[in-house]
Amino acid sequence: MAEPNDPLPSLESLQKKIDTAKVQSGIEKQGDASGEGASGAGQAMKLGAELVSGVAVGSIIGFFLDRWLHTLPLFFIICFFLGAAAGFKNLMREAKRNTDDK
């Protein structure tokens, strides 16, 4: 047992020991919290989801605007392309972030 007068270790040193134990045991890869440890397939799925979600959200908003304003294809088409542009913008931003990290 530790003596009552022994100084306690700092929280930083305890956190470093925990992190090294996680890395050694394979629980957590280094840099895993920022997404650097993700596989190529995982990154591709994330990029695909970014694009699809932008198009889907834009299309849904356009569809409901058309139903509300009785302008059937107008807002659907406009919001579809706006959603696609937003999806591509997110896709390019994530792809650039992934290449800058490496």
Radius of gyration of the chain (CA): 24
Is 48 part of any domain?
yes
Q: What is the pLDDT of residues 34-80, one digit of tens each?
A: 455 567 888 889 888 989 999 999 999 999 999 999 998 999 999 99
**95 with 47: CB under 8 angstroms?**
yes
Is 56 part of any domain?
yes
Structure tokens at 102: 């490496």
Is 61 part of any domain?
yes
Provide the residue range defining the domain that includes 70.
Answer: 39-102
Distances (CA, A) of 78 to 7, 37, 47, 64, 73: 66, 38, 23, 12, 9
Q: Is pLDDT larger for residue 76 or for residue 96?
A: 76
Q: What is the pLDDT of residue 32?
A: 47
Question: How many domains is the chain partitioned into structurally?
Answer: 1
Look at the block and give the residue holding tokens 């956190």.
Answer: 15
- Kindly state the average pLDDT of the residues 1-30: 74
Q: What residue spans of 26-73 are helical by DSSP H? A: 40-69
Is 21 part of any domain?
no
Is 12 part of any domain?
no
Q: What is the pLDDT of residues 24-37, one digit of tens each?
A: 877 755 554 445 55
Q: Is pLDDT larger for residue 102 or for residue 52?
A: 52
